[in-house]
Structure 1
Amino acid sequence: MNYASNDFENKARTEDHLLRWLKTHEACSTASLAQALGTTSEAVRQQLVKLVEQNLVVGELARTGVGRPKQLWHLTPLGHARFPDAHGQLTVQLIESVGDLFGADGVARLVEHRGAQQLARYQAALGSALSLAERAERLAELRSEEGYMARVARDGDDWLLIEDHCPICAAATACQQFCASELTQFQTLMAGWAQVTRETHLLAGGRRCVYRLQAPADDAA
């Protein structure tokens, strides 16, 4: 018997059941999750630590009665996105409808409007960043909040913005203007700080999207 394989499968089932329980119930305590799943609180804690690291669940302190506040757990937007829905298909249908009604110019205006809204949000959040590293980290946080599972990594004198997931993949496949818009946004955000190029593209066969942030030679450190 392959005990290692069975242990992995059991943990995967526990994780799946935990996410499903949080999806269908109000915020839950560790103890209530353990009771619902028929396991120990320690086993649930171990799973929750992993899910927090993946930004699938988040805990918050809440007072539910007399005594100390309890840690209650609920799904993040990324956690909710783990469950299937038809938003991708609907988005593609809406883009096609805009094209049918208003032509290619209408689709372009739609993408431009979305891009302007995103850029304004990013600019407001990055305005206080004092270094390229801070700007890259903050942008990665914002993109992760949107479901892109973004992170940054140092590569010599450059920084890489790595996005391991694309929550708008269906829409971007139907209209790659979304991808062009996002690259333009990053270039605008980093103007004067770094030159931004896309090195790996999910829709071009890459496993993820990777953007290189190349600082001017005098600023590289």
Structure 2
Amino acid sequence: MKSRSLSVIAGSSYLIIFFLAIFANFFVLESILENPLKTVQEDQLLVRFGILAFILTVVFDVVVAWALFELYKEHPLSRLSTFFRIMHAAIMGVGVAALPLLFSLNTPLEILQQVENFNTIWLTGLFFFGIHLILLAKILGKPKWIAIFLIIAGIMYMADTAAHFLVANYEAYAPLFLALVAVPSIIGEMSLTVWLLTKGGRNNTNFTN
């Protein structure tokens, strides 16, 4: 497959992931957190679509991993970077597989605990995703500002996961960690997505301006 086609596939899949994640997180999970029992029992269709969105996120994450590997497979770090992204997708898949259990729970506390279990599994996967981003930045190289944001985002993903397990009063710092993760990841990954869709594949060894 041509490099340009692989780049478009990676960029398009990344874009789909963004929209699916926004829907699943901000429309579904937030609804559950605000009103656990009512959402799970009375808005089951919304919850089921949210679970499907998470499943598709895992699918397209694997597609991105494959496309990026094929695009940059000559780089010595490409295989390792791909492994870490696949690990992230696999762990995410385990978390999503537990979400249908929500429909068998009868109290808000049980529902919130199940969502917390999912978030913990997801956070674990994001640690490996952070390593992937750091390696990907090294593989891509240019433009340097995108690579820098990917590195920062990768470090912040890893730091957030580590803090979640190591800091006893993590909830007190959660908004700060959210901002530290969100800003570089949105800038870096969205910029990468746009670049892949518009310029990627013309040189499959590194970025070109």
> TM over 0.5, yes or no?
no
Larger RCO (CA within 8 A; separation ≥ 6): 2
The structure whose residues are more often helix, as a share, is 2
Larger strand proportion of the pair? 1
TM-score using structure 2 length: 0.24
